Structure 1
Amino acid sequence: MSHYSLIDIPFNLRHTCWFCGEPSFDLLSFPKSSHQVRQITHQPIELPACKECLALPSAGVSESIWSFRDQIKHALMNKYAKHLGIGLQWTKEELEASEFHGAILEGFGKSAWPMYEIAKERVEYTGWDLAVDGEPLDGYDESCGYEFNGVRYLSIQACIEYHVKAMSLDLVLLETLIEIVGSERFAYALRIAELNRDVSYKERLTIIDEIKNQEQDKDDLRELNEAEKLSATLPLVAVVMDEATAQPEAIEWAITHSCTTLESLIEQEDAFFDAFEHLGGPTAFALFDGLQWYLVARRDAVWCEESDPNDEFWR
């Protein structure tokens, strides 16, 4: 493929797979077919890859070499899920202290941690920054995929399926827990699934109901705290300026909504008028106008200290 450009390769990495760090004496052409060139976000390239990464399956056409790398990593994680699962379920010290009996089990005790470390290094290997003839290759999108514990997955579902396979977890339980608590609390959901590996249908429903109730209780408490915060009346006073008067209720609204500048007030203008529409248009506008002049005045730190009787409530 003569129109494909070979990436710049550091001398000490000239025989290293860019995907997993294993020894490499082959090149991967990306995209695989020349008719796919128009579908990628950067120029077509060639880069070092080991025989295993070259042979790993990938789904569809990737828009960049980085999204293709994510697919390769996903395939590696699936292939070596059991090896990687050793590090998720054991520590090196626990394996060394365990008394395995029999030739097979003793062999596992000795080789398990090295197998895990090799698989982990390959999955976490990031390669070097890509460039062609000294020019960096553009097109990397950090927002794609899902990252957990420093490892990048194709998606949240791929992350779930990997941990289910690696740790012998209940797929339905972990999927449902993530739906309830959210992907940002993956570690929490994973811990619950880990503690409940072998569950019956009835036990799974009980766990799910319990977590739902806990989350609902948290939401209810959060809403109550927010309502109490909004309903609390600060001992504010009106601020009379040459241009207008800022009324206490408008100032309190600004403080409780972290509306500290004129710019932020303009951004929240609709919310302000929604909050005071029950007073009628002219009154709401007067409150808004007074608050605008007040926030303009508060740009001056000396004025705030010497002339704003409500200054302490902004700190």
Structure 2
Amino acid sequence: MAALVIAEHAGGQIADATLSAVTAAAKLGGDVHVLVAGGDDAKGAADAAAQIAGVSKVLLAQDAAYAHQLAENVAPLIAGVAEGYDAVLAPSTTTGKNIAPRVAALLDVMQLSDIISVEGPKSFTRPIYAGNAIATVESSDPKLVITVRTTAFDKAEATGGSAAVEAVNGAGDAGLSSFVKLDAVKSDRPELTSAGIIVSGGRALKDGPTFEQYITPLADKLGAAIGASRAAVDAGYVPNDYQVGQTGKIVAPDLYIAIGISGAIQHLAGMKDSKVIVAINKDADAPIFQVADIGLVADLFNAVPELTEKL
């Protein structure tokens, strides 16, 4: 079964999410090819993709129309290239979830969303009911379009491969959308979805300056990424980019520290696969303690500065 992985990249580098998607594609048991669509930096990304272990070919679509991964332009390209493949896989990220449904519609097939394991050539498992149940699904479509929950699969080795790079062409600009600007948060911290340690704050932190005062020093000591609950994001403490949860980012770090987070189902769905979960909350009955490996019932305004000082 030949599989095509849609690469996510920036600055000529392949995103970690793509490496997990490659691992998932390899479990289908056939050749794994990677499609890199982009603008001026696409060649560098294609060369990087060619080095991923397990990848046998890289398709490079270099065109200004693909520079910002506009779904209206990229989806027709993928649908055209997909003719020679049994499965198309994309990471279950903001970009992947924007493009994959359009590809499925163009191919007239059902999409298999957010898979967490490969059980057979057309059989997979995926979480449902905010992760409280796992469904086994099987497709009868001739071609598969899949999004992959990247935290459920190990990352493929970024080096060791020697795939050939082949140029492909698409229709280019569909004229349905245009890139206006990119508002990106620049930080020296690890990216949230690939960080080994995450410190997250909730609504109990009261406001943005308080969030910064208590969460940032602890994250700095640990070299951690900063996350937040939806309640904290909705209240304006931090940007949307920090949100962890079902409608935010799905993470599975080695250590997740939840501070002032009650543990709503929506939040737990995004972080309960973390290796070690530490919760600090003054409410002993908070749901977060049901999934925590280590729980501290205490006032965060006393406990967090003390913890930060002792690290």
Q: Which structure has the highest strand share of the two?
A: 2
TM-score for the superposition, normalised by structure 1: 0.25
Looking at both structures, which has the greater relative contact order when contacts are Cα pairs under 8 Å and sequence separation is at least 6? 2
Computing the radius of gyration from Cα coordinates, the structure with the larger value is 1
TM-score for the superposition, normalised by structure 2: 0.25
